[in-house]
Structure 1
Amino acid sequence: IHYALKERTRATIVIYNLLGQRVRTLVNAVEGPGYREVIWDGRNDAGVPVSSGIYICRFTAGKFTAVRKMALIR
């Protein structure tokens, strides 16, 4: 997952299942400007692999929010 920040701000990337339950928090930090990449290894916050399927990725930086669907195929 690639993202860019224009200024120093809190960034969060959270993965949800289709029921809206949080599966994994990948990023939750104040970060400076620049390009970043984070890889989701298909595990939940407890480190347990999750099932194949459709997941929702929510990226928030300051007042900006983007939501995308992702397919996890094992």
Structure 2
Amino acid sequence: EQNFPNPFNPETNIQFSIAQKGITRLKIFDAIGREVQTLIDEELGEGVYLKVWNGKNGSDQTVASGVYFYRLLPGSFTQTKKMILMR
């Protein structure tokens, strides 16, 4: 599913479904592929989840306007979606 709102300022909601219990990772990357933030890196059970990204990096610093991607890795599946931060 796509994050909402998109474009966003100052935060966005990332909703996703997990079909099978396992280690799940949700990471944010900038437009050139650098990792900005890890939002989830833990075992999750089957279900629907909502995670908020506050537009900050792993050092709690506000990131610049631009295109970002979130990558969801539940088990061996990978899904990447584009989002736009407008300050």
* Alignment TM-score > 0.5, same fold: yes
Aligned to 1:42: 55
In the TM superposition, structure 1's runs of 4+ consecutive aligned residues that sit over 3 Å from their partners are none
Which amino acid counterpart does residue 42 of structure 1 have in structure 2? Answer: G
TM-score normalised by structure 1 residue count: 0.95
**In angstroms, what is the RMSD of aligned CA positions?**
0.7
Which residues of 2 match residues 1-74 of structure 1 at below 5 A? 1-74=14-87
Alignment gaps of 5+ in structure 1:
none
Q: Distance in 1 between matches of 2:81 and 2:47?
A: 21
What is the total number of aligned residue pairs between the two structures? 74
Q: Distance in 2 between matches of 1:31 and 1:9?
A: 6
SS in 2 for 1:38: strand
